Chain A
Amino acid sequence: MPIQYYIYFCLALFSIGVVGVLTRRNAIIVFMCIELMLNAVNLLLVAFSKMYNGLAVQNGVANTAGIDAQIFVFFIMVVAAAEVSIGLAIIVMMYRNTHSIDINFLNRLKN
């Protein structure tokens, strides 16, 4: 399959994530949309990695080409997990004080 298909598919996933962050009101769902954005990026990285690997094999160069992108994916997953732990802690802290996880709560500081 041409790489363009992967690019368009990942961009679509990423855009769904962005739209979700901008429109949803529930903190947990906003959070899930951010995860969706990160996973779209992961998918694209793997696709690019395979593309470069395939090209290198075709040209008879070393077949480890493109491996750094796959390692990057693992780093993104680990960092995303660390972020989730902090994010959920913050949401729980807010829930204890306000008994709600609505983002509309976030406009007190404006005035």
Chain B
Amino acid sequence: MNAIIVSTLLGVIMMFCSWGIKSQQVQKNIALIGLFILIIANLAQSSGWYVVDYDTKGMLTYSIFGLYANTLLFALTFIYVWINGEEIAKINNTSADFYSLFFFILCGISVLTSFDNLLMLFLGIEILSIPLYILTGADKKNMFSNEAALKYFLMGSFSTGILLLGITFIYGATGSFHLTAPVVSISTGFAQEQILLSTGLILLFAAMNFKVSAAPFHFWTPDVYDGAPTVFTSFMATIAKAAGFIAFINVFNTQYKALGYSWTLLLTFVILSTLLVGNIIAVFQRSVKRMLAYSSIAQAGFMLFALYGKSEISNESILLYAVVYSIATIGIFAVLVKMKENSFEAFNGLGKAHPLLAFATTVFLFSLAGIPLTGGFFAKYYMLSALLKAGAGLWLVLVAVVFAAISIYYYFKIIQAMYFTAGVPAINPLPNQYKYQLLTLAILLLVLGVFPNLLLNYLYF
């Protein structure tokens, strides 16, 4: 509750900042202070202090998992703004507008981590998506940005229609929007409740897959990620996506039981096709930005493993995976933003010209690929052990490992360009401070790679 109220208020305050305050630096600092206040407000709720203590009549429930997910996603947004503030300022001359959109997205995220009713799921997804459509089209004069925005908008509202049809069918079969409603409480006079419920759940599943860009509903992702301004792609691919996964887990850990055995079959199909499409197409990309878009599809396949079975470890693993993946992706996009072009050749000789930056980039890529000593290794390890605990076959784990090995190929293409190809990197001048910020991120990943429990212990307080 705290997070929802405070983030909305901060969003409105940021909107007024855009005509009260002219300095971009001050706007960024206000956003950072706002994010800090938001984190504090959310932590306060975890220890029982409310801004408004209001009975939501079962619309929202607050679990430790949801609150902690909030805290982590807010902290990631803090890191994101701290690193990318200057780049956001370059897109438009009032970056406060964008910060206010970020706060509205965070409001959507805090609904998505705590909903207990399908109405709140719908509202949360819309509060999250509508600002994202605007951010995609933020670069108004750029044709690619326009195209990506229109495409994202049309596809997004189409999937909203499917989501709503699914919700309606579930309502038709059960007579309630609550996630934990008893299936078919009163006799409704028509015999197809079970068909209606299954169809509804499948439609809901398809729409949620669309939001987290899992194959076969991934087709919008590469175009949208490619066309959007790089700083905002970084936000979409990390924080917004992680929130989508937490919502996904919230719905399907309670609802899917109606589907029984066919659920596992459906989920396995989606996971395998996501891993296949993401990893194989990423190998053939010539643009780093597009390669990262496909890699984010592939990583979504890994995150879907958390849906396989509800256990303590699958909750732990999705949080660890989301955080580690987000840090690494924010880092690699922050490097990409400074490049003059998006090709692999732009990275040639970066190792000689900027050793510190190249080191940080290497750590990010290692983490995405899941090499030991970086956070990515433990994220993948936890995910696979959750999978085994949920009773999946060993073959699924082996397939996942094979795909992780394939991903090493396209991540290492960048490392090869940086260290083993001579050339002059096509990079814009960098302030020293920026390098140290990225180095901090890399150190964070290395620390999580050795002590993943630093992050997870807080789940049990």
Chain A residues packing against B (C-beta within 8 Å)? 2-4, 7, 14, 17-18, 21, 27, 30-31, 34, 37-38, 40-41, 44-45, 48, 51-52, 55-56, 59, 65-66, 68-69, 71-72, 75-76, 79, 82-83, 86-87, 90-91, 93-94, 97-98, 103, 105-106, 108-110
Chain B residues with Cβ below 8 Å from A90 are 133, 137, 146, 149-150, 153
User: How distant is A97 from chain B, measured CB to nearest CB, in Å?
Assistant: 6
Using A4-B190, A52-B175, A72-B119 as known contacts, say yes or no to A94 and B130 having CB atoms under 8 A apart. no
A7 & B144 in contact (Cβ 8 Å cutoff): no
Given contacts A14-B165, A75-B123, whether A86 and B144 have CB atoms under 8 Å apart is no
B148 CB within 8 Å of chain A: yes
Contact yes or no, A109 B148, CB < 8 A = yes
Known: A45-B168, A68-B177, A69-B171. A86 touches B133 (CB 8 A): yes
Query: Once the chains bind, are B172 and A34 in contact (CB under 8 Å)?
Result: no
CA distance A87 to B146 in the complex (A): 11
**Consensus secondary structure, chain A interface:** helix
Contact present for A27 and B150 (CB under 8 Å): yes
Partner of B168 from the list A3, A44, A79 (CB cut-off 8 Å) is: A44
B168 and A93 form a contact (CB under 8 A): no
- What is the interface size of chain B, counting residues whose CB is below 8 A from a CB of the partner? 42
Asked if B141 contacts A3 (CB within 8 A), the reply is no
Within 8 A of A (CB), among B178-213: 186-190, 196
| Chain A residues positioned under 8 Å from B153 (CB to CB) | 86-87, 90
**Residue numbers in A under 8 Å from B171 (CB-CB):** 45, 48, 69, 72
Contacts of B126 in A (CB 8 A): 79, 82-83
Residue from B134, B140, B168 within 8 A of A48 (CB atoms): B168
Looking at the assembled complex, report how far the CB atom of B216 sits from the nearest CB atom of chain A, in whole angstroms.
15
Identify 20 residue pairs between A and B in the complex whose beta-carbon atoms are under 8 Å apart, listed by A's number.
A27-B154, A34-B154, A34-B157, A34-B161, A44-B172, A45-B171, A48-B168, A48-B172, A55-B186, A55-B188, A59-B186, A68-B119, A72-B122, A72-B171, A76-B122, A103-B154, A106-B151, A108-B144, A109-B151, A109-B227
Give chain B nearest CB distance to A77 CB in angstroms. Answer: 12
* B143 within 8 Å of A (CB atoms): yes
Interface SS majority for chain B: helix
Residues of B within 8 A of A108 (CB): 143-144, 147
B158 within 8 A of A: yes
Known: A72-B177, A98-B143, A109-B223. A91 touches B161 (CB 8 A): no
Please give me the residue from chain B that is nearest to A82 by CB atom: B130
Tell me the B residues contacting A by CB distance below 8 Å: 119, 122-123, 126, 130, 133-134, 137, 140-141, 143-144, 146-151, 153-154, 157-158, 160-161, 164-165, 167-168, 171-172, 175-177, 186-190, 196, 223, 226-227
| 17 new A-B contacts at CB < 8 Å, known A66-B175, A91-B150 | A3-B189, A14-B161, A14-B165, A17-B161, A21-B158, A27-B150, A30-B154, A38-B161, A52-B188, A65-B175, A68-B177, A72-B167, A76-B164, A83-B130, A86-B153, A90-B149, A109-B151
Chain A residue, CB-CB nearest to B125: A79
- Smallest CB separation, A2 vs chain B (Å): 7
Cα-based distance from A97 to B190 in the complex (angstroms) = 53
CA distance A72 to B126 in the complex (A): 14
Hey, which chain B residues are within 8 Å of A3, CB to CB?
A: 172, 188-190
Measured CA separation A72–B165 after assembly (Å): 12
CA distance A57 to B94 in the complex (A): 57
A30 CB, min distance to chain B CBs, angstroms: 6
A37 touches B188 (CB 8 A): no
Query: Which residues of A sit under 8 angstroms from B144, Cβ to Cβ?
Result: 108-109
Residue of A at shortest CB range from B146?
A: A94
* Set of chain A residues within 8 Å of B146, measured between Cβ atoms: 90, 93-94, 97-98
* Contact of A41 with B186 at beta-carbon distance under 8 Å, contacts A48-B172, A86-B130, A93-B137 already known: no
By beta carbon, the residue of chain A nearest B141 is: A97
CA distance A86 to B151 in the complex (A): 13
In the docked arrangement, what's the CA distance between A105 and B158, Å?
A: 19
CB nearest neighbor in A for B189? A55
Question: Which residues of chain A are within 8 angstroms of B189 by Cβ–Cβ distance?
Answer: 3, 51, 55
Neighbouring B residues of A71 by C-beta, 8 Å: 119
**A-chain residues with CB within 8 Å of residue B150 when the two chains form the complex:** 27, 90-91, 94, 106
In chain A, what residue has the closest Cβ to B225? A109
